[in-house]
Homo-oligomer: A and B are copies of this chain.
Amino acid sequence: MQNYKAPKTDTLFVMNEVFNFEAHYQRLGFTDATPDLVDAIYAEAAKFAEEVLAPINAIGDQEGCQWHDGEVTTPTGFKEAYAKYVEGGWPSMAHPEQYGGQALPYSLASAMAEWFSGANHSWAMYPGLSQGCIDTIKAHGSDVQKEMFLHNLVAGTWTGTMCLTEPHCGSDLGMLKCKAEPNDDGTYKLTGTKIFISAGEHDLSENIVHIVLARLPGAPEGTRGISLFVVPKYHVDAQGNKGERNTVKCGSIEHKMGIKGSATCVINFDEATGVLIGEPNRGLNCMFTFMNIARIGTGLEGLSASEASFQGALAYAKDRLQFRALTGKQNSEGPADPIIVHPDVRRMLLTQKAFAEGNRALAIYCMQLVDETLYGTDAETKQLADNKLSLLTPIVKAFLTETALESTSHGMQVYGGHGYIAEWGMEQLARDTRICTMYEGTTGIQAMDLLARKIMGSKGELLNIVQTEILNYCHRIRDQQQFNAMANAIQSHCDEWQQLTAEIGKSAQQNPNELGAASVDYLMYSGYVLVGYMWLQMAVVAQQKLDAGEGNPAFYQAKLHTAQFYFDRILTRTRAHVSSIRSGADNLMSMPEALFNVS
């Protein structure tokens, strides 16, 4: 199996050279977060990913988690790796000093999280899940609740979960049934069953803090009657001390296609004691505050798989000898040429590379926007970032994970039959990342969030905001003739994007199904254009560096080649999506349900 290598150089290229994170961090008051400090932290993070997490990735898949009488044992090495993670202070990086955190920016912790996931998707989910829990308590908990839970969560000695899904309701949370009844002491007793709870039970941490969506007695039906509770595995006193076992128990774990080292739990609440956080019946609003960050995190998981699969495929393509190049022998001493000489193998590799690097740029760009929304002081700049993020989040979630399915499939295909064999690790990447288009809201859900809520909901205003930035950029580089063709492609896509939006808006007034019928194609179209915009920016920076004679020229030349590939062979996929969007809803809706399985 190919050893995973954290793509630190590329991450830092995007942060420092494309998006000028140095100035960004200074402006937001993170005066310590200099490029040197970031580099030093990232060197350690890369080592942790490569030397601690990657070596236990295959073991995690083979062993999986084991359930016994409510307890879950994680695979060999997971516990030790988590101990090292806590010891290294990684969990506390982007949290307030008040709770023992290091008060570094979100983006700094988030960009490197890609590597943890790339090295070991399953393992990285355990600390990943704590983030949403911490953020929720931080934003909506009382001071007492923060004192109770945050110190240990920030330290990583406790972990967290988000308990939303129930057997009969996934995306449609309005249907949830879990009940919370008030106790005399101001706490609540929660009763119900949650499913698909990642990290719901395991042996990595001393306590597990569940954020649970449930209904109070007499709460309104639907999404307006949902409240948010914190329910720990072990009771916690006001000083944050761990007490007796609470009546929350893991009923079973799921047998899944992949991420087998991640425990996906059925969690039964049997009059379990919890505390309400935030206002009654406003639980879903509290959740949505952090949905953006969670969804970018899932996009990042997809990206991490694209990168890891590319690394594996590239190593094999340079090593495996099979046939001669169509243009004649390239490796005269060997019995055949390495398969990287074959155009179709290069097509697959470049597709992986273009997605990994282009998607990484889009993700990191979003992290910069998140920083602004979290730490910005200028209200207008903050609102602008929030608006952009609002549009970009469903795209990042869905596009980075959908393209990960393609990338990891190419990775297997480059190996031929060997790609199907477990020992090479390529098929595990494909299986592990397959969940990413489904959890945290399916691609279909993201697409409706984008098109119905964000685009139509803002009457196109959010699209205008994002496009203004893109068109300004294209205008700014208009004198660089070398990039005119790429900039023109982006600009004409922006025009078309507006036009498609108007067309859909108009037809949806007659028939709301037009939104659903266009949604996924519209999202993918948007993703291809945005990643094209990223590639344009990376290419422009690469050329600047080459012209200035700075850095490693090979790195920048590779960027220029890959950008060209993206514009020639990937961006052009929008043609099929446009046709599909314009074909309308009738071809989907006119067939009566009863005709689907006549035979």
Q: Mark A548-592, 1 if CB is under 8 A from B, else 0.
A: 000010110110011011001100111110111001110111110
Option from B323, B515, B519 in Cβ contact (under 8 Å) with A172: B323
Between A and B, 10 residue pairs with Cβ closer than 8 Å are A172-B336, A256-B422, A344-B517, A353-B596, A413-B444, A417-B438, A420-B434, A569-B580, A574-B576, A575-B576
Q: Is the CB of A175 within 8 A of B583?
A: no
Q: Is the CB of B598 within 8 A of A517?
A: no
Q: Are A516 and B587 in contact (CB under 8 A)?
A: no
A473 contacts partner chain B, Cβ-Cβ < 8 Å: no
Cα separation A496 to B67 with both chains bound (whole Å): 58
Contact check, A420 vs B405: say whether CB atoms are below 8 A apart: no
Q: Within 8 Å of chain B (Cβ to Cβ): is A513? A: yes
- Judge whether A598 and B420 touch: CB under 8 Å: no
Known: A318-B593, A569-B580. A165 touches B417 (CB 8 A): yes
Cβ-defined contact, B323 with A171, below 8 A = yes
Q: What 0/1 pattern do residues 318 to 347 of A give for CB contact below 8 A with B?
A: 100111011100000001101011111111
A339 to B584, CA, bound (A): 19
Main secondary structure on A side of the interface with B: helix
Chain A stretch 280-335: residues in CB contact (< 8 A) with chain B: 311, 314, 318, 321-323, 325-327, 335
For residue A516, which residues in chain B have a CB less than 8 angstroms away from its CB? 326, 342-344
Measured between C-beta atoms, what is the minimum distance from A518 to chain B in Å? 8
B417 lies within 8 A of A439 (CB): yes
Closest chain B residue, CB of each to CB of A345: B444
B-facing mask of A156-191, CB < 8 A → 1, else 0? 000000000100111110010000000000000000
Q: Do the beta carbons of A517 and B343 come within 8 Å of each other?
A: yes
Interface size class of A (residues with CB under 8 A): 35 or more
Contacts of A218 in B (CB 8 A): none
A257 to B318, CA, bound (A): 24
Which stretch in A128-136, A423-431, A532-540 binds the other chain?
A423-431
What residues of B have a CB within 8 angstroms of the CB of A591 in the complex? Answer: 346, 350, 557-558, 561-562, 565
Of the candidate stretches A2-10, A34-42, A74-82, the one touching chain B is A2-10
Whether a CB of chain B sits under 8 angstroms from the CB of A529 is no
Report which of B413, B562, B597 forms a contact with A438, defined as CB distance below 8 A. B413
- B568 with A583: CB separation less than 8 A: yes
CB-CB < 8 A to A447: which residues of B?
A: 344
Within 8 Å of chain B (Cβ to Cβ): is A89? no
**8 Å CB contact of A552 from B350, B442, B598:** B598
Of all chain B residues, which has the CB nearest A443? B413
Given contacts A558-B591, A562-B591, A569-B579, could you give 8 more A-B pairs where the C-beta distance is less than 8 Å?
A169-B322, A172-B322, A327-B512, A343-B513, A347-B588, A350-B591, A409-B434, A412-B438
Distance of A440 Cα from B209 Cα, bound (Å): 51
Chain B residues near A448 (CB-CB < 8 A)? 344
Given A327-B512, A343-B517, A420-B256 contact (CB < 8 Å): yes
B558→A513 contact, CB < 8 A: no
Question: Top 4 closest A-B pairs, CB basis?
Answer: A343-B516, A572-B579, A575-B575, A561-B591
Residues of B contacting A342 in the complex (Cβ-Cβ under 8 angstroms)? 444, 516
Q: For A574, what are the chain B residues with a Cβ–Cβ distance below 8 Å? A: 576
* Bound form: Cα–Cα A598–B310 in Å: 13
Question: Which B residue's beta carbon lies closest to that of A577?
Answer: B576
Docked complex Cα distance between A321 and B175 (Å) = 10
